[in-house]
Amino acid sequence: MHVNCLTWNVRSLNNKVDRILAFAFDRDISLLFIQETWLTDANNHTTAVIKSHGFKVHHAHRAEKAGGGVAIIYRPCIALIRVFTTSYESFECVSVKVSLPGRKSLLCMCIYRTGPMGSFISDFDNLMTILQPSFLSLTNFLSAVTSIFILIKSPVMQQTFSIICHLMELTNLLKFLLTKQATHWM
């Protein structure tokens, strides 16, 4: 089984869910990591639309104010379960354990930074220290990934992504991820 993945800061899933899912269908994307969903609760119209298109979703929304939120949207053919992690003030996060046939499972996270960069780096480094054993099977998992679509327009976010990969000692992977069929849209 091969998997196409997408990561995207959509700045409101609510008003463009149909276009995003059409984009996923057109590119045979099975696993979407969405930032700034702007969802307001666990079951709303947007999650109903996602499910009506044949996808499943795990998300974390902001309960105390508008905006933000993260989601992992996936096709039912992906064996995936939600994993709860410690919450941090500097970022929002939803985590899942993905299992592909014949491969070790992998912890995947969708993260949106909400606080200052210094606090985020410290908190993220703390999280990676706790979760380090979960990332050991990344190479095994990536051998099943056929395309990764990275939609990062902001130079600040590109820098954040580079810092994260550096913290995880994945600098070589960063070059691979950014050059393997990277696509820009909207």
For residue 112, being part of any structural domain is answered with yes
Reply yes or no on whether the pLDDT at 35 is more than 60: yes
Look at the block and give the residue holding tokens 């307001």. Answer: 40
Q: How confident is the model at residue 134 (pLDDT cuts 50, 70, 90)?
A: low
Q: How confident is the model at residue 154 (pLDDT cuts 50, 70, 90)?
A: low
- Alpha-helical segments (H) within 78-180: 117-131, 138-142, 155-167, 171-179
pLDDT of 145:
47
Q: How confident is the model at residue 162 (pLDDT cuts 50, 70, 90)?
A: low
Q: How confident is the model at residue 31 (pLDDT cuts 50, 70, 90)?
A: very high
Domain that holds residue 74: 3-179
Q: What is the identity of the amino acid at 167?
A: L
> Which phi and psi (to 5°) does residue 27 adopt?
-110, 10
For residue 185, being part of any structural domain is answered with no
For residue 104, being part of any structural domain is answered with yes
How many C-beta atoms lie closer than 10 Å to residue 46's C-beta?
A: 21
Q: How confident is the model at residue 139 (pLDDT cuts 50, 70, 90)?
A: very low
Task: Determine what percent of the chain is predicted with pLDDT higher than 70.
Answer: 68
For residue 186, being part of any structural domain is answered with no
Question: Mean of the pLDDT values across residues 114-137?
Answer: 75
Task: Determine what percent of the chain is predicted with pLDDT higher than 90.
Answer: 26
For residue 86, being part of any structural domain is answered with yes
- Which range has the worst mean pLDDT, 121-125, 128-132, 161-165, 171-175? 171-175
Across all residues in the chain, what is the average pLDDT? 76
How many domains does the chain fold into?
1
User: pLDDT per residue over 75-108, tens digit each?
Assistant: 999 999 998 777 788 889 898 888 877 777 777 8
Reply yes or no on whether the pLDDT at 179 is more than 60: no
**Residue 71 maps to which CATH number?**
3.60.10
Polymer length of the chain: 186
For residue 63, being part of any structural domain is answered with yes
pLDDT of 135:
52
Q: How confident is the model at residue 167 (pLDDT cuts 50, 70, 90)?
A: low
Q: What is the identity of the amino acid at 119?
A: S
For residue 184, being part of any structural domain is answered with no
For residue 103, being part of any structural domain is answered with yes
The predicted model scores a pTM of 0.75
